[in-house]
Structure 1
Amino acid sequence: MSLPLPAEISLETLTPEIVAKTIDHALLKPDMTIDEVIAGCKLCAQYQTASVCVKPCDVKIAAKTLQNTGVDVGTVIGFPHGNTPTKVKVFEALTAIEDGAVELDMVLNIGLLKSGHLSQVQDEIAAVTSAAKAKLPSCCVKVIFECSLLTDEEKISACRLCEKAGADYVKTSTGFSTGGATINDLKLMRAHTSDVMHVKASGGIRTLDYLIECLQAGADRIGASATAAIVDEMRARKS
């Protein structure tokens, strides 16, 4: 769960607590061990991040580790390429919720989007979103674009499709492709979504200064693995 962001975002108006609550701490490396996942979850509890984002196979252990800590458990759907069939993404989403996830970051079907099959892309997002929210009304659904693979026109189309499909967030990238979050992409996504929609920046955000730049460009949530370094730097500057 996030904290409200100040109306004007700057080093002066942010606090370490607010910064930590913008972060979804990523534990998604394919070679990550169970012990590393547990340690990462404990770090989230210590720093009080918004959530942890783990692989689907790690949702149960994350939910157990973070029980009653105030840190939400999230996972990824169709990750990292978005190529699994819709029914598989829906199954992944429902299984993740059963295992304890309350936030889902799903990768849209990039190939269908680039092929211009926009109604199919929207239908898939809607299928995952409606199934997830029917099972858990408070479930937060974020849709990953993989912006480095898309044109600006495709990003704008994706923003509109996500909003029509009922998703909660649009998200820049998986962190496992050819690029991460850019300020231009965040501004574009913010400009082409309504105030109801949120924007998540993910991929390559390793410093406090860049996190603040992303928030200023329109992001509400940040996907990062350098959580400790970022929040510790904020504490040091504030002191």
Structure 2
Amino acid sequence: MTDAQRTAASLAPFIQHTAIDAGLTRDDIIAHCEEAARYGFNAAMIPASWTALAADVLKGTGIAVASALDFPTVGVMTSEGKAAEARAIVAAGGEQIDMGVQVGWLRSGMEKEFRDDIAGVVAAGVPVKVMLELPLLGADERERAVELAMDAGAAYLKNASSGAVEVANPESIAYLAARVRDGVKVKASGGIKTLEQARALLDAGASLLGTSSGVAIVGGGEGTGSY
């Protein structure tokens, strides 16, 4: 698809509309979900504590309810806590989960623990998108993170958790896209604010874009969101 064909509005189905800032109110979540439905975004990404509300608002719209765990501070939860949180998200109506990984475990050579941490979340039964935090890893560690995440059952690999770790870029996305196995996809995340960025990331191999600037992007403008 050329840039001319890939209009701003046509990108909506690739965007996971994100609102995960602290202090969001019930009205904020409702408005966010209604916005996701109005623009036809792929999913509404919301804090786990609001999953049931989001599921109720989005019922029948075809817009997925997505949430994140071990985030925005990544790698601080226990594996048991992550698995329990994943089950709770699914029970509340969550359909997708983005998860932080234990970067420190991987860098300590604790590969089984790193893989099992992801597998415990995958066991909840919905697609899991794994935030690999690529800039924090050396070359060999990146390769192992990719393989271990897929061994654990990841549905998507993500370059990073947010723009604070890495602004999503075509190089990181192409790196992941070149390594995913059949059935595994790539989600780009971190500081995606313009139509040009979105197009470049999709061209590099991303299937989904996580951003809080989705409305601005599909309107052809530039967002100011933090994620």
TM-score (ref. length: structure 1)? 0.87
Pair 1:149-2:136 in alignment = yes
* Pairing partner for 2:198 from 204, 211, 214: 211
Pair 1:199-2:180 in alignment = no
Deviations 1:2-38, CA, capped at 9 Å, x for gaps? xxxxxxx431332556411101111111132222221
Report the CA distance between 1:189 and its aligned residue.
1.0
TM-score (ref. length: structure 2)? 0.91
Q: Percent identity?
A: 32
CA distance in 2 between counterparts of 1:192 and 1:230 reads 28
Q: CA RMSD in A?
A: 1.6
For residue 181 of structure 2, what is the amino acid of its counterpart? S
CA distance in 2 between counterparts of 1:144 and 1:74 reads 14
Mark the runs of 5 or more structure 1 residues left unpaired by the alignment: 1-8, 134-138, 235-239
Which secondary structure does the structure 1 equivalent of 2:23 belong to?
coil
The answer (yes or no) to whether the contact 1:156–1:189 under 8 Å persists in 2 is no
* Pairing partner for 1:224 from 204, 207, 211: 211
* Pairing partner for 2:71 from 79, 83, 88: 79
Mark the runs of 5 or more structure 2 residues left unpaired by the alignment: 222-227
Match of 2:24 in 1: 32
CA distance in 1 between counterparts of 2:192 and 2:152 reads 28
**5 Å matches for 1:102-113?**
102-113=95-106
Deviations 1:101-141, CA, capped at 9 Å, x for gaps? 00000111111112121121111111211x212xxxxx211
Match of 1:4 in 2: none
Report the CA distance between 1:98 and its aligned residue.
0.7
Report the CA distance between 1:145 and its aligned residue.
1.1
Report the CA distance between 1:194 and its aligned residue.
1.7
For residue 43 of structure 2, what is the amino acid of its counterpart? S
CA distance in 2 between counterparts of 1:34 and 1:148 reads 35
The answer (yes or no) to whether the contact 1:56–1:76 under 8 Å persists in 2 is yes
* Pairing partner for 1:165 from 132, 144, 152: 152
Greater alpha carbon shift after TM alignment, 180-189 vs 169-178: 169-178
**5 Å matches for 1:1-12?**
9-12=1-4
**5 Å matches for 1:41-190?**
41-80=33-72, 81-129=74-122, 131-133=123-125, 139-175=126-162, 177-190=164-177
Report the CA distance between 1:85 and its aligned residue.
0.9
The answer (yes or no) to whether the contact 1:82–1:106 under 8 Å persists in 2 is no
Report the CA distance between 1:229 and its aligned residue.
1.1
CA distance in 2 between counterparts of 1:43 and 1:152 reads 40
For residue 39 of structure 1, what is the amino acid of its counterpart? A
For residue 127 of structure 2, what is the amino acid of its counterpart? C
The number of residues matched between the two structures is 220
